Amino acid sequence: MGSNRLYDATLRADVPGPSGSAHLNNLRFWMGQVDYSRKRLASYGDVPVVGVTLGNGSIVAVRGSAATKQVLGDVTTFEHLSDGPLALPTGQPYSTLFDATATLNGRRNVRSRKLLLPIMHRSAIHSYEKIVIRNFERSPFARPTGETFDLVAELDRLTNANMLACLIGLGDAEAELSERVTQLLVATMDPRVFLFRFGRRTPYGRWLRLVESVHRDLSALIDANRDAEPRVDALSILCHATDEDGRRLSTDEIVGELHGMLASGYLTTSVTMAWAMIALAGGHAQDELDSVIKETQRLMPTVPMSLPRRVMRDVDIQGTWVPRGALLFLSTYLEHRNPKVYDRPHEFDPTRWATVKPTPFEFFPYGAGARRCLGAAFAEMQLRTTFELLLQTGVPELLSTNLRHHMTGGVVAAPRGPVMMRMHPPGTAVRDSSAVLERFWRSLRRDGPGGRRGRS
């Protein structure tokens, strides 16, 4: 829509929702999507659309698999956000930095997905596996010496190294660049930046300098790789790719795609691995790995409320009218706790995956349909390879006793603060952390008005 406003608080919709000021509620939701959902949205269980504020159409969430399916199946009406915080000043060298698969819509999204497909091909994923093994072997997870470390920081380093080497063909020396991309993502989604767009010594001014520096450094990287021998990583593939008219991509197009991949793939993978690692340290065998990962993604989806959509026309969602211009989220976090699909939905129980078979609209940690996560296979390979090696290496022990989460980068729910652990030699008996984990899963239960009435 070209606007740099995230939402329009004057939009009306006949939706249930919590009372209060739309501006304040929107801000609370944006800063704490999980807590707002479980405390204030969960009780409206059976409606297809719930407002972040009663009767207000500025930010809404869809509920139930029928509404979820409708939104995911109609990429024309429900476009990925490309305005609001993502609107960059025009006429600058960096103006298209945010143009990438996740923010482009229509034919430009299809073209961009096509360009990136070779990077996610099975044979490419297979070749990345060797790099993931090598990076694991260099990490503290591979040393069962009882040394204490922060699993969040170490997984961050590990996934950064995997991402850089596999997808960009770079070594650890460039780790700072992808860290800067993540800093930029977090700053872009910070209300102090997108609500107050002025000044040079302000959060906005600092953000703009970060935009410039990321654009400049990615452009230099591409210029240096344009004429290098072809490799299987994204940087090389994009530098050598031609579009349907046989035209090579411009440096700015490649900058956008590389930035997009780093922004979509690094924090999400590192945080998903952190939640799964925390769950695994509760004591699980190799043959439970798949179901522990799935159960963790069910109860703590890293992207708990999907990427935001802009509603492009007035639309009827399963009987509720939603106005053009609304910002819409899918309620991954709440749908993954739907009692009609999951028995004892708030309990962490990996064994449920032997019998429960949710549809793609009832379990969707990577989204579903035409805009499903492009990096899911790469992320899953990293999770499985790393954790299989970890469980062969020794016994993980969780040392932190107080687990909490926070929202970062606008869409990601990450562990808050350091989470300490250590690795012991195989066969070591370690302290039982199940009570710590149990307390954490319980803290994520809904505790709003509907929760107290026990409606789900």
**What residues line the site for ligand HEM (CB under 6 A)?**
80, 101-102, 109, 113, 167, 260-261, 264-265, 268-269, 272, 302-303, 306-307, 365-367, 371, 373-375, 378-379
Spatial separation of the C-alpha atoms in residues 115 and 357, rounded to whole Å? 33
- Taking the complex as a whole, how short is the minimal distance between the CB of residue 360 and ligand HEM, in angstroms? 11
Q: Residue 394 Cβ, how far from ligand HEM at the closest point, in Å?
A: 24
Work out how close the CB of 196 gets to ligand HEM at its nearest, in angstroms, rounded to a whole number.
Answer: 27
Q: Could you give the maximum distance between any two Cα atoms of the chain, in Å?
A: 65
**Closest-CA residue to 191 (of 53, 38, 32):** 32
Q: Output 113 or 352, the one with its CB closest to ligand HEM.
A: 113
Q: Which is nearer to ligand HEM, 210 or 307 (CB)?
A: 307
Q: At its nearest, how many Å lie between ligand HEM and the CB of residue 42? A: 20
In the complex, the smallest distance separating the C-beta of residue 428 from ligand HEM, rounded to whole angstroms, is 29
Residue 225 or 272: the one with the smaller Cβ distance to ligand HEM is: 272
Residue nearest to ligand HEM (CB): 375
**Is 294 or 371 the residue whose CB approaches ligand HEM more closely?**
371
CB of 27 to ligand HEM, least distance (A): 21
97 Cβ neighbours under 8 A, 6+ residues apart: 88, 211, 214, 215, 255, 256, 259
For the CB of residue 277, give the shortest distance to ligand HEM in the complex, in Å.
Answer: 13
* Closer CB to ligand HEM, 22 or 52, in the complex: 52
CA dist., res. 397 & res. 419, Å (int): 11
Judged by CB, which is closer to ligand HEM: 119, or 399?
Answer: 119
Minimum CB distance to ligand HEM, residue 70 (Å) = 13
142-147: list long-range contacts, CB under 8 Å, 24+ apart: 142/389, 142/390, 142/393, 142/423, 143/423, 144/393, 144/394, 144/395, 144/423, 144/424, 144/425, 144/426, 144/428, 145/423, 146/422, 146/423, 146/424, 147/422, 147/423
Q: Please state, in angstroms and rounded to a whole number, the distance separating the CA atoms of residues 130 and 110.
A: 30
Query: Left if phi > 0, otherwise alpha if psi is -120 to 50, otherwise beta: which for 208?
Result: alpha
**Which C-beta is closer to ligand HEM: that of 272 or that of 393?**
272
Q: How far is the CB of 132 from ligand HEM (least distance, A)?
A: 12
CB nearer ligand HEM, residue 204 or residue 366: 366
Distances in Å between the alpha carbon of 66 and those of 41, 42, 46, 357, 455? 18, 17, 11, 17, 20
Between 101 and 433, name the residue whose CB sits nearer to ligand HEM. 101
Nearer to ligand HEM, 166 or 436 (CB): 166
Query: Which of 25, 51, 16, 7 minimizes the C-alpha distance to 331?
Result: 51
Q: Tell me how far apart the alpha carbons of residues 69 and 442 are, in angstroms, rounded to a whole number.
A: 29
* Closer residue to ligand HEM (CB): 29 or 204: 29
Minimum distance between the CB of residue 326 and ligand HEM, rounded to whole angstroms?
A: 16
Give the shortest CB-435-to-ligand HEM separation in angstroms: 27
